[in-house]
Amino acid sequence: MALTDVWFLLIAILWTGYFVLEGFDFGVGALLRVLGRDDTDRRIMINTIGPVWDGNEVWLIVAGGATFAAFPEWYATLFSGFYLALLLILVALIGRGVAFEYRGKVDTPQWRARWDRVIVACSITPALLWGVAFGNIVGGVPLDADHEFVGSLLTLLHPYALLGGLTTLLLFLLHGAVFLSLKTDGDIRTRARALAVRLGFGAVPVAAAFLLWTWFDHGADVVTAVLGPAAAAALVGGILATRAGREGWGFTLTAGTIVAATAFLFTALYPDVLPSTIDPAFSLTTTNASSTPYTLTIMTWVAAVMTPIVLLYQGWTYWVFRQRISRAHIPSSPAPAEEHA
């Protein structure tokens, strides 16, 4: 396997990890005012992801850095052509982080409600736009002979990409609801489990339509013929397991759905990294978009040393914070007079 193929695979793994881990973060944030009937419920929901959400975002940073270093031409064209969409995602990620930190700074219902709305909006936005972005990456964009994007923001909003956005949004909402049913106890656990089943009725046909559209556009091969049904089976299995109260299996299977679906997309994309809809000869590939072999060699050694360390540390973090959270674990908010006493 050439180093360019190795790094294409590593970038696919990084994006897969990001979607699995940040996916339930987005889902929890988006459902904050749906499942959270009062402030205590919302504090429970935020506390389920509080120790891990910022660590989950590291996968995005590493995926972007790896793309920049391994495939600079891909990075340059992607971030210039998708500039406005990616800027919206960046603003949403910043707003979400600020909202998590500022929500508890003032003990008034109005203050918390304002930041709760920010969390919801800034969770839905990237959950939707990442699907739109990957719909364009896999489906192709207008690239000229110089590998320059010659479209506009509206060019990116075609039916296939919008279906991709709806798919990621529904999958992340489902993944988040299953995660909440796994990480909470009491009434909120029951409601999260019921909501996950209802979300599944929407996620299954939408995800199936998106994968079938991709399959017909890019042609079938052995790998996609396995990954597509695997994603569908995992999705249905995750819904059924959650409905039966087996939230651990439910979360594992919804995570498996995201893994299989992301692998499906990268398999359909290869060996391109950004196809051109003007002329296939103008497409960016793993060969013409890559760095030099020397750069890739150094990066490979660094990745071989650092990746296991990062995985072990993050796995340890999830193990430490593995307990369920209920209303009994949430202390009462101090009254304003007590805060200054």
Q: Show the 3-state SS of 235-302.
A: HHHHHHHHHCCCHHHHHHHHHHHHHHHHHHHHHHHCCEEECECCCHHHCEECCCCCCCHHHHHHHHHH
CA dihedral 188, 31, 232, 59 (to 10 degrees): -110
Q: What is the pLDDT of residue 333?
A: 59
* pLDDT (tens digit per residue) in 66-111: 999 999 999 999 989 999 999 999 999 999 999 999 998 888 999 9
Contacts of 283 (CB under 8 A, 6+ apart): 140, 143, 272, 274, 275, 276
Q: How far apart are CA 197 and CA 80, in angstroms?
A: 39
**Could you tell me the residue ranges of all domains in the chain?**
3-328
The answer to whether the predicted template modeling score (pTM) of the entire model surpasses 0.85 is: yes
* pLDDT (tens digit per residue) in 205-214: 999 999 999 9
Q: Low-confidence residues of the chain, pLDDT below 50?
A: 334-341
Q: What is the pLDDT of residue 339?
A: 35
Residue 146 is encoded by which pair of tokens?
């110089």
* pLDDT (tens digit per residue) in 7-44: 999 999 999 999 999 999 999 999 999 999 899 999 99
Q: What is the pLDDT of residue 193?
A: 95
